């Protein structure tokens, strides 16, 4: 079964750091670009970051550039998001999502992990 499972969310104070992980199974992880997408409580979806299959290409939303770092370990079938200098507006459910074969849509999503930034 193709599956993505996120972990690492939690409660953190403003200015703090958190590292999210996404474990992939059921497909050849190293062949796919991967993404993080977030959703603030009661709000819509916001793309956060993307990384190509070999980590050659990395992109960030302006809202997180310079604070978040995406990475992957193809040997461990894992995707990561290092989040530093967290703000209240970063509070959201964070989803990892796989690029589909067309590279224009996200075809597989994890269940999400909640990040709450509050003092």
Partner 1 sequence: EIVLTQSPATLSLSPGERATLSCRASQSVSSYLAWYQQKPGQAPRLLIYDASNRATGIPARFSGSGSGTDFTLTISSLEPEDFAVYYCQQRSNWPPATFGQGTKLEIK
**Positions in the binding site for partner 1 (CB under 8 A):** 35, 37, 44-47, 50, 59-62, 95, 100, 102-107, 109-112
CB of 102 or CB of 119, closer to partner 1: 102
DSSP state of 89: G
Measured on CA atoms in the order 59, 62, 63, 65, is the torsion positive or negative?
A: positive
CB of 35 or CB of 92, closer to partner 1: 35
CB of 29 or CB of 94, closer to partner 1: 94
Lay out the sheet containing 68-73: strands in order across: 3-7, 18-25, 78-83, 68-73
Q: How near is the Cβ of 75 to partner 1 at its closest, in Å?
A: 26
């Amino acid at each position: 079964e193709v599956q993505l499972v996120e972990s690492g969310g939690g409660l953190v104070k403003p200015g703090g750091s958190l590292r999210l992980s996404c474990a992939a199974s059921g497909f050849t992880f190293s062949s796919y670009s991967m993404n993080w997408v977030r959703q603030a409580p009661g709000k819509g979806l916001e793309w956060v970051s993307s990384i190509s299959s070999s980590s050659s290409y990395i992109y960030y939303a302006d809202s997180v550039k310079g604070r978040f770092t995406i990475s992957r370990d193809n040997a461990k079938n894992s995707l990561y998001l290092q989040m530093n200098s967290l703000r209240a507006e970063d509070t959201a459910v964070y989803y990892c999502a796989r690029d589909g074969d067309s590279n224009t849509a996200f075809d597989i999503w994890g269940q999400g992990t909640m990040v709450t930034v509050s003092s």
